Structure 1
Amino acid sequence: MRYQLSAEAAEFYESTFVPALFAAWARRLVDTVAVTPGQAVLDVACGTGVVARTAADLAGAAGEVVGVDLNTSMLAVARRIRPDLRWQHGDACALPFGDASFDLVLSQAGLMFFGDRMAALREMARVAGVRGRVAVQVPGRLAASPGYRALADVVARHAGREAVDLLGAYFAVGEPDELHHLVDAAGLRVEVFDTWLGATRLDSVDTFLAVELLPLADRLDRDVRDRIVEDCRTALAPFVDAAGAIAAPIEVHLVVARPEPE
């Protein structure tokens, strides 16, 4: 998927999505691969750079951390936050780096959006080399993500199957057997396949819906959107605390693999 976000959308992603969801994911990803001082780390489809920033705190001054992304607005935010790191424009399916350039190649919440997932995984394996490791973290199954399943059920009632399919694109590589097969077929030997339940944490159901209904913004008329919001107040109630904040559960897969020698 090739797309460009506006500067405003990139800032919104950093201020809202990162603390709500992706900062916790990044910590788990980096802790699982155990980044150590002096390592060279690549963050593929880095977005605004939360994985790279988290890794850089552990790799230290002796390490090298690089983030690569197609979105120039995302990279602009990443550079603003951490100008000391290297941020590079590039395609995950044709990484602009030499063979075996990195000790660790990480990618979070990107694989499902790549135009050629197999090519992207093979590129990650190439730049890691046989002594490196590749770690990919993605949303799991919609059916195993209670908060998002509740949202999808409401959307299906009011906006139809096509709208649910748009929301479901986020979970496109969530079937464990299919994800395992994809990684294997790319020439990577799986060492860790960890499935865990995270949550998107926001201050209210309204904020959650403002974020999660963005892919449908141009497809929902006001009346349909209002009905979805009203029904979601009931459907999402099990995930709302006494203060009105929501923690919508979402399944996550974390795969760590090594490139197979040729």
Structure 2
Amino acid sequence: MAPAQSTQYEVAQHMYAARADDYDSSWHPSYTARFMQLAAPQPGERVLLLACGTGLEAEHAAPLVGESGLVVGVDATDSMLAVFRAKRDADPVLAARTCIVQHDVTNLSGCAAVEPGSFDLIVCSNAFVLFKDPAAVVRHWKTYLRDGGRMVIDVTHERNLRQGLLMEVVAERLGVPFPSDRRWITSRDSFRRVLEGEGLRVDRVEALEKVSGKGTIYLGAEEADAQFDFITGMPLTSELATDEFKQKARPLFKEEWKKASVDGKLEVCDILYVYVARKV
């Protein structure tokens, strides 16, 4: 029953190819503004944006690094980078201070313009939970930081998009690979431990609320079917959500929904944790 497992690079390309045209019309620009205030690029810095997508972080970073700084954006998806390139072509500051590369962000070896030990700031937003081995990714990225350099990454709250977490459990029960991995996040300290385990010093952890503007909601059992359809209709799950999968998964999803509910309600948060860590 299980489909052939795609690589993370292939999953990212598939997920985001159809989202490029309207990505900047979503909640992402307003969230990016909040996130980049915490990242705080400085004049003259070399900044590496991993999973840079349409260049939202670059629009904030390029003016701040100044004429002596550089912003390098790396992403997997052609269509997302096409949007970024169009912005770059239309904006002299982006054109002068950014470099765009298509590459696998979990394996930067041989990536043009990305040299070990050369960056003051590494940023990754709204992508880290796609990676299957968080510690290995942090360990790899750390090699590209200068001593004293910063790594700023966000991960989801443990009850963010709870429906998707339930689907991860269901997929595992059915022996089907799932394209994201969030179950290791059980509190705001989960990713702190990963970062510290790789020798980084965590300077700051912030919980940014109302990421998509919805806030925390509580869903009743009568909404389980609609939420199942919502999750299986997302680009994230489109490859695994065959008719056979959905037929077998729906009753299991309802079982997991019931187990996760408190007083008949499933709590769904709209929060991301942002971590500012330093190479020491």
The TM-score, its normalising length taken from structure 1, stands at 0.69
Q: Residue 33 of structure 1: CA displacement? A: 2.4
8 Å Cα contact 2:75-2:103 kept in structure 1: yes
Q: Residue 122 of structure 1: CA displacement? A: 1.9
Q: Residue 23 of structure 1: CA displacement? A: 1.6
Distance 2:207 2:150 in 1: 19
Structure 1 residue 133 and structure 2 residue 145: aligned?
A: no
Structure 1 residue 22 and structure 2 residue 57: aligned?
A: no
Distance 1:191 1:181 in 2: 13
- Cα distance change of structure 1 residues 219 and 99 upon mapping to structure 2, 3 Å threshold: closer
Aligned equivalent of 2:101: 88
Structure 1 residue ranges without an equivalent (≥5): 229-247
Q: Residue 65 of structure 1: CA displacement? A: 0.6
Q: In structure 1, what residue type is equivalent to 2:144?
A: V
8 Å Cα contact 2:209-2:270 kept in structure 1: yes
In structure 2, which of residues 170, 175, 187 is the aligned counterpart of residue 161 of structure 1?
170
Q: Residue 4 of structure 1: CA displacement? A: 5.9
Structure 1 residue 73 and structure 2 residue 79: aligned?
A: yes
Q: In structure 1, what residue type is equivalent to 2:142?
A: A
Number of aligned positions between the proteins? 226
Aligned equivalent of 1:2: 9
Q: Residue 188 of structure 1: CA displacement? A: 0.9
8 Å Cα contact 1:152-1:167 kept in structure 2: no
Aligned equivalent of 2:200: 188
Structure 1 residue 108 and structure 2 residue 125: aligned?
A: yes
Q: Residue 75 of structure 1: CA displacement? A: 2.4
SS in 2 for 1:46: coil
**Residue by residue, what CA displacement relative to the aligned partner does 1:172-212 show, whole Å, maximum 9, x if unpaired?**
4533232111111122110011122233259xx9xx95996
8 Å Cα contact 1:125-1:258 kept in structure 2: no
**Residue by residue, what CA displacement relative to the aligned partner does 1:73-103 show, whole Å, maximum 9, x if unpaired?**
3323322222412111233333232232111
Distance 1:254 1:166 in 2: 27
SS in 1 for 2:271: strand
Percent identity, aligned pairs only, is 23
Q: In structure 1, what residue type is equivalent to 2:40?
A: A
- The structure with the greater share of residues assigned to helix is 1
In structure 1, which of residues 121, 124, 133 is the aligned counterpart of residue 138 of structure 2?
121
Distance 2:184 2:205 in 1: 14
Q: In structure 1, what residue type is equivalent to 2:20?
A: E
Q: In structure 2, what residue type is equivalent to 1:52?
A: A
Distance 1:79 1:124 in 2: 24
Moved more, 115-124 or 41-50: 115-124
Aligned equivalent of 2:217: none
Structure 2 residue ranges without an equivalent (≥5): 1-7, 90-94, 215-225, 251-267
Distance 1:65 1:211 in 2: 36
Aligned equivalent of 1:256: 276
- Cα distance change of structure 1 residues 257 and 4 upon mapping to structure 2, 3 Å threshold: same
- Cα distance change of structure 1 residues 213 and 92 upon mapping to structure 2, 3 Å threshold: closer
- Cα distance change of structure 1 residues 117 and 31 upon mapping to structure 2, 3 Å threshold: same
- Cα distance change of structure 1 residues 194 and 48 upon mapping to structure 2, 3 Å threshold: same
- Cα distance change of structure 1 residues 92 and 134 upon mapping to structure 2, 3 Å threshold: same
8 Å Cα contact 1:112-1:173 kept in structure 2: no
Q: CA RMSD in A?
A: 3.7
Q: Residue 117 of structure 1: CA displacement? A: 2.5
